[in-house]
Amino acid sequence: MNIVVNLNKNPSITSHDAVTAVKKTYKVKKAGHAGTLDPAATGVLLVCLNEATKITGFLSDLDKEYIVTAKLGECTDTYDSEGVVIKKTERFTVTRSEIETAILKFTGDIEQIPPMHSAIKVSGRPLYELARKGIEIERKPRRISIKAIEVLNFESPFLTLKVSCSKGTYIRSLCNDLGNELGVGAYITELVRTRIGDFTIDNSAGIDDLPHKAPALYSIDTALRHLPEIKVEWDNLKRAKNGNPIRIGQKCGRQASAEELKESLQASGLPGFSSAFIRLKDPEGKLFGIGKKGKDSVKIERLFNL
């Protein structure tokens, strides 16, 4: 059972607990997730089973989409409804036009300071452990990319947004920062992750729907469909399966000369020819690994026991 499960996580459970539930459902030895969701949040959580645990990093790097509802006029210490209100603005007025102007500041490549209540580790300890003891430390800003923010609904004090963003984006911090920009404060009341890459909430399944909801189950090959592929000929297959690089100067795959491989990678839309990852398949089209294109060779990054 080497699959990726597109799980619609329930509220009030941790991502770890969700993974454990899926692991028990399928009675597998290994399981992991590709991108944490806060306990109160719901939506897409990719759970990788057995050999699929080797691709969590390739999935967590994908862009994400969220629908978030925030309450304006108050701030909490956790930036969400689980926290304690630490600031309140009475009798404020904010218009939709002001909100749409303010969100422009948070669109594009920006720097964001992660919240104290997060799993980021400092000296080996998650920040949330320090936060629970009332300790706040300085956090370095992180470079993230907000592809788009759309106002879906605004009935003061509640604001609903759709956010498309890069990995590493904290939606709680985004809403807190937006509230500060508006001068009234804000915190999250509801958060749903609707997409990771091409994995959408429409094709997800709840815990109770597993294990038989087929649209929510993906092979490793299908889960990596965003990566280009090459077929490695029999002459190089044994070398590749032993973890040895495939020389581009040799015939490394059907129609896969250096120039043809470059064209394939560029056509995939992946940034940077020299750093692109590739699905490696045998001449019959069976996935056996992931490679990384170097200057004159393909380095083996992952091998699958399928």
Instruction: With CA atoms as reference, report the closest residue to 306 among 219, 179, 200.
Output: 219
The answer to whether 210 and 22 have CB atoms below 8 angstroms apart is: yes
Residue 69 gets which letter from DSSP? E
Dihedral sign for Cα 223, 228, 234, 236, please: negative
- The strand pairing partners of 67, in sequence order, are 162, 192
Which of 17, 38, 63, 235 is labelled catalytic? 38
E-strand ranges in 22-63 read: 31-33, 42-49
**Pairwise CA distance, residues 19 & 2, whole Å:** 14
φ, ψ dihedrals at 216, nearest 5°:
-95, 0
Residue 274 backbone phi and psi in degrees, to 5: -70, -15
* Annotated catalytic residue 202: no
Q: Cα(91)–Cα(269) distance, rounded to whole angstroms?
A: 49
Q: Would you please indicate which residues are annotated as catalytic (active-site) residues?
A: 38
